[in-house]
Protein backbone atom coordinates (compact mmCIF):
# COMPACT_ATOMS: atom_id res chain seq x y z
CA UNK A 1 0.00 0.00 0.00
CA UNK A 2 1.80 3.03 -1.24
CA UNK A 3 0.94 6.63 -0.74
CA UNK A 4 1.22 9.59 -3.04
CA UNK A 5 2.10 12.97 -1.72
CA UNK A 6 1.19 16.18 -3.42
CA UNK A 7 2.91 19.17 -1.98
CA UNK A 8 1.93 22.77 -2.47
CA UNK A 9 4.71 25.27 -2.76
CA UNK A 10 5.64 26.94 0.49
CA UNK A 11 8.58 28.70 1.96
CA UNK A 12 11.33 26.16 2.46
CA UNK A 13 12.42 27.85 5.70
CA UNK A 14 8.99 27.58 7.27
CA UNK A 15 10.57 24.95 9.50
CA UNK A 16 8.57 23.73 12.41
CA UNK A 17 7.18 27.20 12.95
CA UNK A 18 3.57 26.20 13.56
CA UNK A 19 4.34 23.53 16.12
CA UNK A 20 6.85 25.87 17.73
CA UNK A 21 4.37 28.70 17.89
CA UNK A 22 1.86 26.41 19.60
CA UNK A 23 4.24 25.48 22.40
CA UNK A 24 6.36 28.61 22.40
CA UNK A 25 5.64 29.88 25.90
CA UNK A 26 5.96 26.45 27.49
CA UNK A 27 9.14 25.75 25.56
CA UNK A 28 10.78 28.81 27.11
CA UNK A 29 10.04 27.26 30.52
CA UNK A 30 11.46 23.94 29.37
CA UNK A 31 14.63 25.61 28.19
CA UNK A 32 15.08 27.36 31.52
CA UNK A 33 14.45 24.13 33.40
CA UNK A 34 16.97 22.30 31.22
CA UNK A 35 19.61 24.85 32.15
CA UNK A 36 18.75 24.51 35.85
CA UNK A 37 18.80 20.72 35.72
CA UNK A 38 22.24 20.69 34.12
CA UNK A 39 23.69 22.47 37.15
CA UNK A 40 25.87 20.38 39.44
CA UNK A 41 28.70 20.48 41.95
CA UNK A 42 31.06 19.17 39.30
CA UNK A 43 31.87 21.95 36.82
CA UNK A 44 32.36 19.53 34.00
CA UNK A 45 28.69 18.51 34.02
CA UNK A 46 27.13 21.81 32.94
CA UNK A 47 29.98 22.30 30.45
CA UNK A 48 29.34 19.00 28.71
CA UNK A 49 25.57 19.37 28.97
CA UNK A 50 25.68 22.89 27.54
CA UNK A 51 27.79 21.68 24.63
CA UNK A 52 24.97 19.36 23.60
CA UNK A 53 21.99 21.37 24.79
CA UNK A 54 23.06 24.52 23.01
CA UNK A 55 24.12 22.77 19.85
CA UNK A 56 20.92 23.44 17.99
CA UNK A 57 18.98 20.25 18.47
CA UNK A 58 15.42 20.63 17.29
CA UNK A 59 13.95 19.76 20.71
CA UNK A 60 11.34 17.80 18.85
CA UNK A 61 10.67 15.33 21.67
CA UNK A 62 9.93 17.93 24.37
CA UNK A 63 7.80 19.84 21.90
CA UNK A 64 5.76 16.69 21.34
CA UNK A 65 5.26 16.31 25.09
CA UNK A 66 4.13 19.91 25.44
CA UNK A 67 1.80 19.66 22.46
CA UNK A 68 0.36 16.31 23.52
CA UNK A 69 -0.47 17.70 26.97
CA UNK A 70 -1.64 21.04 25.58
CA UNK A 71 -4.10 19.42 23.17
CA UNK A 72 -6.03 18.15 26.19
CA UNK A 73 -6.11 21.59 27.74
CA UNK A 74 -3.53 20.85 30.43
CA UNK A 75 -2.65 23.98 32.38
CA UNK A 76 -0.23 22.84 35.11
CA UNK A 77 3.57 22.65 34.99
CA UNK A 78 3.94 18.85 34.91
CA UNK A 79 4.27 18.78 31.15
CA UNK A 80 7.17 21.25 31.32
CA UNK A 81 9.01 18.98 33.77
CA UNK A 82 8.25 15.88 31.73
CA UNK A 83 9.35 17.62 28.53
CA UNK A 84 12.68 18.62 30.08
CA UNK A 85 13.10 15.07 31.40
CA UNK A 86 12.44 13.62 27.96
CA UNK A 87 15.07 15.92 26.45
CA UNK A 88 17.55 14.89 29.15
CA UNK A 89 16.90 11.22 28.48
CA UNK A 90 17.56 11.92 24.81
CA UNK A 91 20.73 13.91 25.56
CA UNK A 92 22.03 11.14 27.83
CA UNK A 93 21.45 8.65 25.03
CA UNK A 94 23.36 10.84 22.56
CA UNK A 95 26.34 11.07 24.91
CA UNK A 96 26.48 7.30 25.34
CA UNK A 97 25.79 6.60 21.66
CA UNK A 98 28.70 8.72 20.58
CA UNK A 99 30.98 6.73 22.89
CA UNK A 100 29.61 3.43 21.61
CA UNK A 101 29.78 4.46 17.95
CA UNK A 102 33.10 6.26 18.38
CA UNK A 103 31.47 9.20 16.64
CA UNK A 104 33.52 12.30 16.06
CA UNK A 105 30.75 14.73 15.19
CA UNK A 106 27.31 15.43 16.61
CA UNK A 107 24.98 18.04 15.17
CA UNK A 108 27.79 19.57 13.15
CA UNK A 109 30.04 20.09 16.19
CA UNK A 110 32.72 17.94 17.72
CA UNK A 111 31.10 15.17 19.77
CA UNK A 112 31.43 15.78 23.53
CA UNK A 113 33.70 12.76 23.81
CA UNK A 114 36.17 14.42 21.43
CA UNK A 115 36.36 17.43 23.77
CA UNK A 116 35.99 15.93 27.26
CA UNK A 117 36.70 12.26 26.59
CA UNK A 118 34.71 9.05 26.69
CA UNK A 119 34.85 8.91 30.46
CA UNK A 120 33.12 12.24 30.94
CA UNK A 121 30.56 11.39 28.27
CA UNK A 122 29.59 8.17 30.05
CA UNK A 123 29.34 9.78 33.47
CA UNK A 124 27.63 13.01 32.44
CA UNK A 125 25.11 10.88 30.52
CA UNK A 126 24.43 8.98 33.73
CA UNK A 127 23.99 12.25 35.59
CA UNK A 128 21.52 13.63 33.06
CA UNK A 129 19.51 10.41 33.22
CA UNK A 130 19.44 10.62 37.01
CA UNK A 131 18.32 14.25 36.85
CA UNK A 132 15.64 13.30 34.33
CA UNK A 133 14.20 10.75 36.76
CA UNK A 134 14.35 13.18 39.67
CA UNK A 135 12.37 15.74 37.72
CA UNK A 136 9.81 13.18 36.52
CA UNK A 137 9.27 12.04 40.09
CA UNK A 138 8.45 15.64 41.06
CA UNK A 139 5.49 15.55 38.70
CA UNK A 140 3.99 12.86 40.89
CA UNK A 141 2.43 10.72 38.17
CA UNK A 142 3.26 7.04 38.60
CA UNK A 143 1.73 6.36 35.17
CA UNK A 144 4.06 8.83 33.48
CA UNK A 145 6.97 7.36 35.43
CA UNK A 146 6.04 3.87 34.28
CA UNK A 147 5.96 4.98 30.65
CA UNK A 148 9.26 6.87 30.79
CA UNK A 149 11.18 4.30 32.85
CA UNK A 150 10.03 1.59 30.47
CA UNK A 151 11.27 3.75 27.59
CA UNK A 152 14.67 4.13 29.27
CA UNK A 153 15.09 0.36 29.46
CA UNK A 154 13.74 -0.24 25.96
CA UNK A 155 16.04 2.38 24.42
CA UNK A 156 19.09 0.73 25.97
CA UNK A 157 17.82 -2.68 24.90
CA UNK A 158 17.51 -1.38 21.33
CA UNK A 159 21.06 -0.03 21.46
CA UNK A 160 22.34 -3.41 22.64
CA UNK A 161 20.38 -5.15 19.88
CA UNK A 162 21.98 -2.78 17.39
CA UNK A 163 25.42 -3.47 18.83
CA UNK A 164 24.84 -7.22 18.56
CA UNK A 165 23.73 -6.82 14.93
CA UNK A 166 26.57 -4.44 14.13
CA UNK A 167 28.43 -5.27 10.96
CA UNK A 168 26.11 -8.26 10.44
CA UNK A 169 24.92 -8.04 6.85
CA UNK A 170 22.48 -10.89 7.40
CA UNK A 171 20.30 -8.57 9.54
CA UNK A 172 16.87 -8.54 7.91
CA UNK A 173 14.36 -5.73 7.64
CA UNK A 174 12.13 -7.03 10.44
CA UNK A 175 15.05 -7.25 12.85
CA UNK A 176 16.10 -3.74 11.89
CA UNK A 177 12.63 -2.32 12.46
CA UNK A 178 12.63 -3.94 15.89
CA UNK A 179 15.92 -2.19 16.66
CA UNK A 180 14.75 1.28 15.65
CA UNK A 181 11.36 0.73 17.26
CA UNK A 182 13.29 0.34 20.52
CA UNK A 183 16.21 2.72 20.14
CA UNK A 184 14.35 5.62 18.50
CA UNK A 185 10.58 5.20 18.41
CA UNK A 186 10.20 4.25 22.09
CA UNK A 187 11.16 7.75 23.27
CA UNK A 188 8.99 9.50 20.66
CA UNK A 189 6.14 7.30 21.79
CA UNK A 190 6.73 7.96 25.49
CA UNK A 191 7.13 11.70 24.84
CA UNK A 192 3.68 11.75 23.25
CA UNK A 193 2.00 9.37 25.70
CA UNK A 194 2.87 11.31 28.86
CA UNK A 195 0.95 14.31 27.52
CA UNK A 196 -2.55 12.79 27.87
CA UNK A 197 -1.41 11.08 31.09
CA UNK A 198 -0.43 14.28 32.85
CA UNK A 199 -3.54 15.98 31.45
CA UNK A 200 -5.72 13.23 32.92
CA UNK A 201 -7.09 12.13 29.56
CA UNK A 202 -8.49 8.69 28.71
CA UNK A 203 -6.66 5.41 28.13
CA UNK A 204 -7.82 5.57 24.51
CA UNK A 205 -6.10 8.92 24.03
CA UNK A 206 -2.96 7.58 25.71
CA UNK A 207 -2.90 4.62 23.36
CA UNK A 208 -3.56 6.80 20.33
CA UNK A 209 -0.80 9.27 21.17
CA UNK A 210 1.64 6.46 22.02
CA UNK A 211 1.03 4.84 18.69
CA UNK A 212 1.29 8.19 16.92
CA UNK A 213 4.69 8.72 18.58
CA UNK A 214 5.90 5.27 17.58
CA UNK A 215 4.97 5.89 13.95
CA UNK A 216 6.63 9.28 13.96
CA UNK A 217 9.77 7.85 15.55
CA UNK A 218 10.08 5.02 13.05
CA UNK A 219 9.59 7.42 10.14
CA UNK A 220 12.06 9.86 11.67
CA UNK A 221 14.77 7.20 11.99
CA UNK A 222 14.25 5.80 8.49
CA UNK A 223 14.49 9.26 6.94
CA UNK A 224 17.62 9.84 9.00
CA UNK A 225 19.05 6.61 7.59
CA UNK A 226 18.21 7.69 4.05
CA UNK A 227 19.67 11.16 4.54
CA UNK A 228 23.00 9.65 5.56
CA UNK A 229 23.41 8.62 1.93
CA UNK A 230 21.73 11.51 0.23
CA UNK A 231 20.95 14.46 2.45
CA UNK A 232 22.71 17.62 3.34
CA UNK A 233 24.69 17.72 6.52
CA UNK A 234 23.52 21.28 7.08
CA UNK A 235 19.99 20.10 7.78
CA UNK A 236 20.80 17.55 10.41
CA UNK A 237 24.19 18.61 11.69
CA UNK A 238 25.26 15.17 10.62
CA UNK A 239 27.89 14.49 8.03
CA UNK A 240 26.66 12.47 5.08
CA UNK A 241 28.22 9.04 5.28
CA UNK A 242 28.57 8.86 9.06
CA UNK A 243 26.66 5.58 9.21
CA UNK A 244 28.76 4.15 6.39
CA UNK A 245 32.05 5.17 7.98
CA UNK A 246 30.95 3.66 11.31
CA UNK A 247 29.96 0.41 9.61
CA UNK A 248 26.35 0.81 10.70
CA UNK A 249 23.80 -1.49 9.16
CA UNK A 250 20.76 0.63 8.24
CA UNK A 251 17.78 -0.11 6.06
CA UNK A 252 19.29 1.19 2.78
CA UNK A 253 22.17 -1.25 3.18
CA UNK A 254 19.89 -4.13 4.17
CA UNK A 255 17.75 -3.60 1.07
CA UNK A 256 20.70 -3.18 -1.29
CA UNK A 257 22.55 -6.18 0.13
CA UNK A 258 19.51 -8.42 -0.31
CA UNK A 259 19.16 -7.38 -3.94
CA UNK A 260 22.87 -7.13 -4.65
CA UNK A 261 25.16 -8.95 -7.06
CA UNK A 262 28.12 -11.05 -5.87
CA UNK A 263 30.46 -8.13 -6.50
CA UNK A 264 28.23 -5.71 -4.62
CA UNK A 265 27.95 -8.05 -1.66
CA UNK A 266 31.71 -8.32 -1.61
CA UNK A 267 31.84 -4.52 -1.52
CA UNK A 268 29.52 -4.39 1.52
CA UNK A 269 31.42 -7.15 3.25
CA UNK A 270 34.71 -5.30 2.82
CA UNK A 271 33.41 -1.87 3.82
CA UNK A 272 30.72 -2.56 6.42
CA UNK A 273 31.78 -5.87 7.95
CA UNK A 274 35.53 -5.51 7.71
CA UNK A 275 35.64 -1.73 7.96
CA UNK A 276 38.10 -1.36 5.07
CA UNK A 277 36.96 1.91 3.60
CA UNK A 278 39.01 3.77 1.02
CA UNK A 279 38.69 6.87 -1.14
CA UNK A 280 35.61 6.81 -3.30
CA UNK A 281 33.90 4.02 -1.35
CA UNK A 282 31.20 6.31 0.06
CA UNK A 283 30.36 7.48 -3.44
CA UNK A 284 30.34 3.89 -4.66
CA UNK A 285 28.03 2.91 -1.80
CA UNK A 286 25.66 5.67 -2.84
CA UNK A 287 25.73 4.45 -6.45
CA UNK A 288 24.89 0.88 -5.45
CA UNK A 289 22.10 2.06 -3.13
CA UNK A 290 20.59 4.21 -5.88
CA UNK A 291 20.94 1.42 -8.45
CA UNK A 292 18.66 -0.73 -6.29
CA UNK A 293 16.39 2.15 -5.33
CA UNK A 294 17.32 1.47 -1.71
CA UNK A 295 17.23 5.09 -0.55
CA UNK A 296 13.86 5.71 -2.19
CA UNK A 297 12.54 2.46 -0.74
CA UNK A 298 13.70 3.49 2.72
CA UNK A 299 11.91 6.81 2.44
CA UNK A 300 8.83 4.95 1.18
CA UNK A 301 8.89 2.86 4.35
CA UNK A 302 9.04 6.10 6.33
CA UNK A 303 6.00 7.42 4.46
CA UNK A 304 4.24 4.18 5.23
CA UNK A 305 4.60 4.97 8.92
CA UNK A 306 3.60 8.60 8.57
CA UNK A 307 0.39 9.18 10.52
CA UNK A 308 -2.44 8.87 8.00
CA UNK A 309 -5.55 11.05 7.95
CA UNK A 310 -8.46 9.44 9.69
CA UNK A 311 -11.87 10.30 10.93
CA UNK A 312 -10.33 10.82 14.32
CA UNK A 313 -8.08 13.56 13.04
CA UNK A 314 -10.39 16.30 14.20
CA UNK A 315 -9.79 15.05 17.71
CA UNK A 316 -6.06 15.00 17.12
CA UNK A 317 -4.81 18.46 16.35
CA UNK A 318 -1.28 17.13 16.98
CA UNK A 319 -1.65 14.43 14.35
CA UNK A 320 -3.21 16.96 12.07
CA UNK A 321 -0.19 19.20 12.54
CA UNK A 322 2.13 16.29 12.04
CA UNK A 323 0.59 15.36 8.73
CA UNK A 324 1.59 18.75 7.57
CA UNK A 325 5.04 18.12 8.97
CA UNK A 326 5.99 15.95 6.08
CA UNK A 327 7.43 17.67 3.11
CA UNK A 328 8.73 15.42 0.46
CA UNK A 329 10.68 16.93 -2.33
CA UNK A 330 12.18 14.91 -5.08
CA UNK A 331 15.23 16.19 -6.77
CA UNK A 332 14.84 15.19 -10.41
CA UNK A 333 18.52 15.58 -11.05
CA UNK A 334 19.65 13.24 -8.34
CA UNK A 335 17.01 10.71 -9.24
CA UNK A 336 16.24 9.55 -5.79
CA UNK A 337 17.75 11.90 -3.29
CA UNK A 338 14.50 12.53 -1.53
CA UNK A 339 15.04 15.15 1.07
CA UNK A 340 12.84 15.14 4.08
CA UNK A 341 12.41 17.92 6.52
CA UNK A 342 10.18 18.03 9.48
CA UNK A 343 8.39 21.25 8.67
CA UNK A 344 5.16 22.90 9.44
CA UNK A 345 4.85 25.64 6.89
CA UNK A 346 1.79 27.58 7.91
CA UNK A 347 0.80 27.63 4.23
CA UNK A 348 1.91 24.08 3.57
CA UNK A 349 -0.59 21.48 2.67
CA UNK A 350 0.52 17.92 2.24
CA UNK A 351 -2.13 15.51 1.17
CA UNK A 352 -1.38 11.85 1.67
CA UNK A 353 -3.65 9.78 -0.51
CA UNK A 354 -3.81 5.99 -0.31
CA UNK A 355 -3.30 4.57 -3.80
Question: Can you tell me the distance from the alpha carbon of 52 to that of 217, in angstroms, rounded to the nearest whole number?
Answer: 21
Instruction: Write each residue from 85 to 104 as x if it is in contact with its own copies (CB under 8 A), else as -, in one continuous string.
Output: -----------x--xx----
Q: What angle is formed at CA 331 by the lines to CA 330 and CA 332, rounded to 5 degrees? A: 105
Q: Which is nearer to its own copies, 43 or 283 (CB)?
A: 43
Q: Measured from the CB of residue 33, what is the shortest distance to its own copies in angstroms?
A: 15
Number of amino acids touching its own copies (CB under 8 A) = 45
Judged by CB under 8 A, which of 11, 134, 312, 315 binds its own copies? Answer: 134
Question: Can you tell me the distance from the alpha carbon of 303 to that of 104, in angstroms, rounded to the nearest whole number?
Answer: 30
Question: Can you tell me the distance from the alpha carbon of 306 to that of 217, in angstroms, rounded to the nearest whole number?
Answer: 9
Q: Measured from the CB of residue 249, what is the shortest distance to its own copies in angstroms?
A: 15
Query: Using the rule CB under 8 A, is 51 a contact of its own copies?
Result: no
Q: Which is nearer to its own copies, 138 or 276 (CB)?
A: 138
Helices (H) and strands (E) counted in the chain, each on its own, are: 16, 6
Q: Measured from the CB of residue 103, what is the shortest distance to its own copies in angstroms?
A: 12
Question: Can you tell me the distance from the alpha carbon of 23 to that of 16, in angstroms, rounded to the nearest whole number?
Answer: 11
Q: Which is nearer to its own copies, 40 or 352 (CB)?
A: 40
Judged by CB under 8 A, which of 122, 169, 259, 321 binds its own copies? Answer: 122
Buried b (16+ CB within 10 A) or exposed e, 267-294: bbeebbeeeebeeebbeebbebbbebbb
Query: Using the rule CB under 8 A, is 126 a contact of its own copies?
Result: yes
Question: Can you tell me the distance from the alpha carbon of 134 to that of 37, in angstroms, rounded to the nearest whole number?
Answer: 10
Q: Which is nearer to its own copies, 46 or 200 (CB)?
A: 46
Cα R_g (the chain), whole angstroms:
20
Judged by CB under 8 A, which of 18, 44, 110, 259 binds its own copies? Answer: 44
Find the part of the chain contacting its own copies (CB under 8 A) among 127-135, 189-197, 202-210, 262-270: 127-135
Query: Using the rule CB under 8 A, is 156 a contact of its own copies?
Result: yes
Query: Using the rule CB under 8 A, is 160 a contact of its own copies?
Result: yes
Query: Using the rule CB under 8 A, is 63 a contact of its own copies?
Result: no
Is there a contact between 254 and 173 (Cβ–Cβ < 8 Å)? yes
Is there a contact between 19 and 321 (Cβ–Cβ < 8 Å)? yes
Residues 6 or more apart whose CB falls under 8 angstroms from that of 329 comprise 7, 338, 339
Is there a contact between 299 and 222 (Cβ–Cβ < 8 Å)? yes
Query: Using the rule CB under 8 A, is 204 a contact of its own copies?
Result: no
Query: Using the rule CB under 8 A, is 110 a contact of its own copies?
Result: no
Strands (E), 70-128: 105-106, 109-110
Judged by CB under 8 A, which of 28, 115, 142, 351 binds its own copies? Answer: 142
Query: Using the rule CB under 8 A, is 198 a contact of its own copies?
Result: no
Query: Using the rule CB under 8 A, is 133 a contact of its own copies?
Result: yes
The rounded Cα 37 to chain-centroid distance in angstroms is 23
Q: Which is nearer to its own copies, 166 or 321 (CB)?
A: 166
For binding to its own copies (CB under 8 A), which residues are involved? 40-45, 96, 99-100, 118-120, 122-124, 126-127, 129-131, 133-134, 136-138, 140, 142, 145-146, 149-157, 159-161, 163-164, 178, 182
Amino acid sequence: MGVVASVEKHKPDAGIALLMSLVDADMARVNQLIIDMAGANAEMIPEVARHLIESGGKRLRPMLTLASAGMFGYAGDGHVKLAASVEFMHTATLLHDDVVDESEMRRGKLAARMVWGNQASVLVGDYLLGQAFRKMVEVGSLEALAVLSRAAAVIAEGEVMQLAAAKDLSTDEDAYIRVIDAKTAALFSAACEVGPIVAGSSDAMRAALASYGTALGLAFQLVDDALDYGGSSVNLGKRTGDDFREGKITLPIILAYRAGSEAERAFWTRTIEQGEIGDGDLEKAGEILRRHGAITATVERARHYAPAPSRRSTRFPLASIARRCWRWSSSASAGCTEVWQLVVGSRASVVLTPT
